[in-house]
Structure 1
Amino acid sequence: MRSLVLIGHGSHLNSESASAVYRYAELLREKGTFDEVIEGYWKEEPSLRQVLRTVSFTDVTVIPMFISEGYFTETVIPRELGLGHQGPVPKDGIARVIGGRTVRYTLPYGVHPAMSDVILDRAREACPDLDGKDTALVIIGHGTTRNANSSRVVYENADRIRAMGIFSEVSALFLDEDPRLSTWPDVTTSPRVVMVPFFASEGWHTLETIPDDLGLTGPVSELEGRVVYYAKPTGTHPKVADVISNLAEEARGASPRGGELDGGHEAAWQAFEAKASLGLRMGEILITPHDGLFEVRHALDEGRDFLKTYVTPEGLRDVVREDERGEQRPIRTLRSLPRGWRGVFDRANLRRAVHFLYPAVVEESFACSSHALHWTPWATTARRQTGIYAKVASAKPDLVASVSKEVCGSCLRTRLWAGEKLPKTFFDGVPGALPCAEACTLLVAEVREAMSSKGKAAGHH
């Protein structure tokens, strides 16, 4: 039995940031190549520190859902997963045994050679009557001066497609490094130009920055006396699901079949299901058994009729990603769960629905009730941070306490990492008793922001 874990960046503010990863997870579940497909995030839940607790099997393949190699794929993700690796990832990935699991970590999907076919598909969509004799291709990369690997994959795709002879010219241009996208009129001479953004998702750059910088008027524009066709980003193409499958199958040391994990994970869910079969309050939700099915609703909606009903875990997931004001809920245990819905699920789908509602909470609460949950103090979490977050290691304890009071005060979890005690959990009949084993990325980000604000204020005196 095999688990596939897709790692996205996520966002504390934008619920759409995770949409591409969710969509590919659904496509890959439909393909059935893996026995389960789990998503994990840097800035959402399940977090990178939690996600391996949520997998069911011993054979785990982790794929970074990024378009190129760089800081997140080489530093942040390996560090947070505990892979003991920093720096460029070998072509065949790396493999580690972590907590009884064989974990294979691959290159990001965007570097796979099959992405050249995805670029071509996007170009043909944008310009259906494509004629290479009079048409240039511009592949638009983000680029960064901090990591040369970020642009390398764009150049490699340009070289591969140029060798095919389909276009009169093929150029790689970038937003944040030379050669800049603004030079496109100088580096191309063809009367028609197809521009394909080599980006992981539809977002600010593809919807705002690039069109504004180029002066586009729509999918087809007249610029500099030429016709410019603007394609959708490569990362949102359905074929990416096949690229991910290929990358997973090529992972180093992949075994034909793994097995179920011994101990904690399955024991946690069996204990949860036993509780749910009798009726269960957990955090802000109420689970009620009905003729072999389970109804899930907000506890404050107990007894209410005419609630919108969901019969798929994915439908419920999309509802609870935002609060009733439409704001993102990056931490699912924030006391902001929207009301007005109910989910009706069989036993298998109940697991997935609860996973989407409260990622990793079942596993961590069971471990806490069993006195087997290891927690990480703030100082350790802070010292581990790199890049723009490295400064939180020098945050004063009173600042951390103040920010934590504000951020964590609206969360159901009890901060074990801050020395708080949690003698019982919802497994013991206390609905709101949920453990927090480590400070979340939202708190880390808010501590950094508070330090920056304090520094700016001091600079004005």
Structure 2
Amino acid sequence: MRSLVLIGHGSHLNGDSAAAVARYAELLRAQNLFDEVIEAYWKEEPSLRQVLRTTASSDVTLIPLFISEGYFTETVIPRELGLGHQGPVPPEGVGRVIGGRTVRYTLPYGVHPRMAEVILERAREVLPELEEVGQETALIVLGHGTSRNDNSRRVIVRNAERLRERGLFAEVHALFLDEDPRVLSWPERVRAPRVVIVPFFASEGWHTQETIPEELGLRGPQTVFLETPHGPQTVYYAAPVGTHPAVAEVILQLAAEAHGAGDRGGDTEPNHHEAWATFQALAEGGTRVGEVMITPYGGLFELRHMLDEGRPSAELVTFVTPEGLRSKVRRDDGGRHRPVQTLRTLPRGWRAVLNERDLRLGMHFVYPAVVEESYAHHHRNLHCTPWPSTARRQTGLYAKVQRATPDQVEAVARELCSGCLRTRLWGGETLSATFFAGVPGGLPCAEACTCFVAAVREKVGGRAAE
């Protein structure tokens, strides 16, 4: 068996931030090259701290879906996963044994040499006649840039050099949002009458959809500027490289090149198998977990919101794949993003009819890690991380949470945790029984989530929590 985990940044506020990671997981899942493909995020669920509990295999490959090496790939992700590694990741990746699992952690996909091809494909999409007009066209590889880590800049410059060597374009420039040379300087730097801008970003988001077009005065995929220092120029604005389907092939190549990837694979992880076998037995008799009702349905399993019990199926939107269910439960009835899946905001008006294999993935999308953590708590072996330990682990912008007073922490808990189904074990609350003992709302919370950490940071900083 092999498990593949795709790691994204995610967002508390932007529900589209994780879309690219989810799409690659779905594409790779369909290829059946791994026994399972799941996701993990820094800023939403399933979280980095939870994800290893949720893998079915003892052989796990973790691939960060980030554009460049830097603070997240070298510090945050290894720390949250407990890899015992900090700093640059070697080309073959990092191998560890954690909790009986063989874990391989690779470089981010953005540094792979094949990403130059992805940039070129994005350019061809907005300028199909590129082969004919390339010598009248300039390419701008647009990066974010940061003064905190040179790696962010290096990957942009390296890809620009690779494409410059091909000689397809009249000019190739590496420009940045937040460091020099800045993208706002393009009219002075670029002489070609056609200019293709390809954002070297992992996903669509605030920058690619709003700030870049607004700052550059772009009005869609194609914008004509009649007055520039070099005469009329037409700018073609491409989609970000991180959302191109070819990235899935880059991910597979990284997995194949990972340290020890040629081994025979792993076995079924025993604790995980036991938890889900027990859950399966509950589902076959009908059960409830949190706000979700599970009913056996002619060899299949129906999931629906508990408040929709008794409603005719014809009145509900029916999903027959876990991915369809995922897209529904990630937003509440008002369309707002749900970064924590156990918030009491599960939307209504749907049902999912899933087979035995898809039931596990469907429940993983609805309530990530809840089955594994509840089963561990049911058997009194769930390890909880007290708030002071979580606070001490934070670095960078979040280090300030270490200064939070107990009153501030409790104030955030009243504001945020009161709307969650989980019981705050890390905060000293007690949970006598879980849904494995017939208590539907018995869901443990073993550690403060990243939403909570962010809210404490805002509280310490004197600003209202999001």
Quick check: 177-186 or 150-159, which moved more?
177-186
CA distance in 1, matches of 2:273, 2:172: 52
| Superposition deviation, residue 454 in structure 1 | 6.4
Partner of 1:106: 106
Please state whether the residue corresponding to 2:264 is helix, strand or coil.
coil
Equivalent residue letter for 2:34: F
Q: Deviations over 1:292-329 (max 9, x none)?
A: 11111111111111211111111111111011111111
**Does the 8 Å CA contact 1:59/1:255 hold for their aligned counterparts?**
no
**Does the 8 Å CA contact 1:141/1:154 hold for their aligned counterparts?**
yes
Partner of 1:377: 386
Q: Deviations over 1:232-273 (max 9, x none)?
A: 111111101001111111111113432333421000000000
**213, 222, 237: which one pairs with 2:224?**
222
CA distance in 2, matches of 1:9, 1:190: 36
Q: Deviations over 1:65-120 (max 9, x none)?
A: 11111111111111000011111111111111111111111111111000000001
CA distance in 1, matches of 2:310, 2:204: 41
Q: Does 1:192 align with 2:214?
A: no
Please state whether the residue corresponding to 1:210 is helix, strand or coil.
helix
Partner of 2:458: 449
**Does the 8 Å CA contact 1:59/1:257 hold for their aligned counterparts?**
no
Q: Deviations over 1:139-189 (max 9, x none)?
A: 100000110001100111011111111111111000000110012122222
**Does the 8 Å CA contact 1:21/1:65 hold for their aligned counterparts?**
yes
Q: Does 1:356 align with 2:356?
A: no
Partner of 2:168: 166
Aligned pairs for 1:294-333 within 5 A: 294-305=301-312, 306-333=315-342
Equivalent residue letter for 2:357: A
Partner of 2:402: 393
**365, 374, 380: which one pairs with 1:365?**
374
Equivalent residue letter for 1:429: G
**Does the 8 Å CA contact 1:2/1:257 hold for their aligned counterparts?**
no
Q: Does 1:62 align with 2:62?
A: yes
Change (3 A) 1:57 1:452: same
| Superposition deviation, residue 15 in structure 1 | 1.2
Partner of 1:156: 158
**Does the 8 Å CA contact 2:139/2:169 hold for their aligned counterparts?**
yes
**253, 265, 273: which one pairs with 1:266?**
273
CA distance in 2, matches of 1:396, 1:443: 14
Change (3 A) 1:262 1:169: closer
What is the CA RMSD across the aligned residues, in angstroms?
1.2
**Does the 8 Å CA contact 2:201/2:241 hold for their aligned counterparts?**
yes
CA distance in 2, matches of 1:318, 1:377: 33
Q: Deviations over 1:410-460 (max 9, x none)?
A: 1111111111121210000000011100011111111111111269xxxxx
Partner of 1:459: none
Q: Does 1:53 align with 2:53?
A: yes
CA distance in 2, matches of 1:19, 1:69: 21
CA distance in 1, matches of 2:161, 2:426: 50
CA distance in 2, matches of 1:260, 1:367: 20
Q: Does 1:283 align with 2:299?
A: no
**Does the 8 Å CA contact 1:126/1:230 hold for their aligned counterparts?**
yes
CA distance in 2, matches of 1:211, 1:282: 44
| Superposition deviation, residue 59 in structure 1 | 1.1
Quick check: 428-437 or 246-255, which moved more?
246-255
CA distance in 1, matches of 2:457, 2:219: 39
**Does the 8 Å CA contact 2:156/2:174 hold for their aligned counterparts?**
yes
Partner of 2:347: 338
Change (3 A) 1:85 1:94: same
Equivalent residue letter for 2:339: P
Structure 2 runs not aligned, ≥5 long: none
Change (3 A) 1:12 1:159: same
**Does the 8 Å CA contact 1:63/1:248 hold for their aligned counterparts?**
yes
Partner of 2:42: 42
Please state whether the residue corresponding to 1:258 is helix, strand or coil.
coil
**183, 186, 189: which one pairs with 2:185?**
183
Equivalent residue letter for 2:136: D
**145, 168, 172: which one pairs with 1:143?**
145
Equivalent residue letter for 1:70: G
Q: Which runs of 4+ in 1 moved over 4 A?
A: none
Report % sequence identity.
65
Partner of 2:16: 16
CA distance in 2, matches of 1:204, 1:118: 21
Quick check: 248-257 or 422-431, which moved more?
248-257
Structure 1 runs not aligned, ≥5 long: 456-461
CA distance in 2, matches of 1:355, 1:164: 45
CA distance in 2, matches of 1:172, 1:404: 45
**Does the 8 Å CA contact 2:403/2:460 hold for their aligned counterparts?**
no
Partner of 1:412: 421
CA distance in 1, matches of 2:415, 2:262: 47
Equivalent residue letter for 1:275: L
Partner of 1:123: 123
Equivalent residue letter for 1:242: E
Equivalent residue letter for 2:303: V
| Superposition deviation, residue 58 in structure 1 | 1.2
Equivalent residue letter for 1:401: E
Quick check: 215-224 or 148-157, which moved more?
215-224
| Superposition deviation, residue 371 in structure 1 | 1.0
Q: How many residues end up aligned between the 2 structures?
A: 455
Quick check: 270-279 or 219-228, which moved more?
219-228
CA distance in 1, matches of 2:300, 2:150: 53
Please state whether the residue corresponding to 1:354 is helix, strand or coil.
helix
**Does the 8 Å CA contact 1:64/1:107 hold for their aligned counterparts?**
yes
| Superposition deviation, residue 211 in structure 1 | 1.4
CA distance in 2, matches of 1:55, 1:449: 33
CA distance in 2, matches of 1:192, 1:454: 45
Please state whether the residue corresponding to 1:335 is helix, strand or coil.
coil
CA distance in 2, matches of 1:373, 1:263: 15
CA distance in 1, matches of 2:135, 2:13: 45
TM-score (norm 2): 0.96
Equivalent residue letter for 2:267: E
